Amino acid sequence: MGAVFDLAVAGGGINTGTECDWTGWARLVDVDFGRGEAPIKARASRRATRFLSFAKAQPLIRPHGARVAVILGQARAIRDLDKNFDHGLCAADVDYSITHKWPQTVEDVLWRRTKFGLEFMVEKANLLNRYITERMAQI
C-alpha cells in the first residue's frame, strides 16, 4: 500500500495527472503571508501584542499570524480585550471569529477553529456559548 501511495504522490495525485508541487507557492488557509515573509509578519504580530506577555500573545499569534493586529484593534492593555474565557481565548478573538469565520455553535469556536475544546471546562464552555449567542444576536 505504501508504494502505491508514494507513487500517487510522486506522480501528482491519484488520477489527476498534475504535479503536487503547487503547494510550494500556495498560501495556507488563514495564513496571510507568503513564503519568506514569516519573520517580517512575526515581528509585526509581536509589535501588535507588545502589551501582552509571550504566553498570552502566543494563543493569538499562532492561529492568526499578522491578523492579530486586526483582532486586537485598539487594545493597548489586557483589560481592553474584555473577557478572557480560558486558555488565552479572549472576547476579541471570539468577536473576530464571529465576524470573519462565521461559527454556528460554541463547538465551532472550541474545536474547528482553535482546538480549545480539549482543554475547556464545561462551565467555561457554557459561558462562551452564552457570549457567542449574545454577540450573534447583535449582528
For residues 88 and 74, membership in a common domain is answered with no
Note down the domain range covering 54: 31-81
Classify residue 20: in a domain, yes or no. Answer: no
Q: How many CB atoms lie within 10 A of CB 128?
A: 21
Taking only the tens of pLDDT, the chain with its 139 residues reads: 445 445 555 555 555 555 555 555 555 555 556 666 666 666 777 777 888 887 778 777 777 777 888 888 888 888 887 788 887 788 888 998 898 888 888 998 888 766 778 888 889 999 999 999 999 998 8
The answer to whether the predicted template modeling score (pTM) of the entire model surpasses 0.75 is: no
Distances (CA, A) of 35 to 44, 47, 48: 16, 21, 21
Phi-psi region of 133 (alpha: psi -120 to 50; beta: other; left: phi over 0): alpha
Would you say residue 19 lies in a domain?
no
